[in-house]
Amino acid sequence: MFSRMFNRTKPEANALTTLDKLNETLEMLEKKEKVLLKKASQEVEKAKEFTRAKNKRAAIQCLKRKRLYEQQIEQLGNFQLRIHDQMIMLEGAKATTETVDALRTGAAAMKAMQKAT
């Protein structure tokens, strides 16, 4: 009973489903980046309003929040770059696997032809 619970084999991830998941994640990160860009620009506008109203402290707080948003945007950009890199590597590995399979099939066909003659 315990051997079935703890020694389960993990389902092998299909390359296509993995690529789909990476694409979904990439789209989510892009949407999040747009939201953060909008928030950062809103903080700049608030800072300008506070500066006009001679409220320097509030303006500085807005600029600090803007800087935090920009750091998050940079982090999201790094995540997107990693995901693109992963997708390229996965597509390359898939192409390599398909090529090796085709070569094996060709070699097997050649052996079969040699045995037949």
Report the largest interatomic distance among the alpha carbons of the chain, rounded to a whole angstrom. 95
Record the pTM.
0.71
**Token pair of 98, please?**
């398909």
Burial of 43 (0-12, 13-18, 19+ CB in 10 A): buried
Task: Give tens-digit pLDDT for 84-114.
Answer: 999 999 999 999 999 999 999 999 999 999 9
CA-CA distance, 18 to 90, in Å (whole number)?
9
Q: For 17-37, how does the pLDDT look when each residue is reduced to its tens digit (9 = 90+)?
A: 888 999 999 999 999 999 999
Q: What is the pLDDT of residues 45-67, one digit of tens each?
A: 999 999 999 999 999 999 999 99
Domains for the chain: give ranges and CATH numbers: 27-116 (1.10.287)
pLDDT for 37 equals 97
Name 37's Cβ contacts closer than 8 Å, sequence gap at least 6. 69, 73
pLDDT at 11: 46
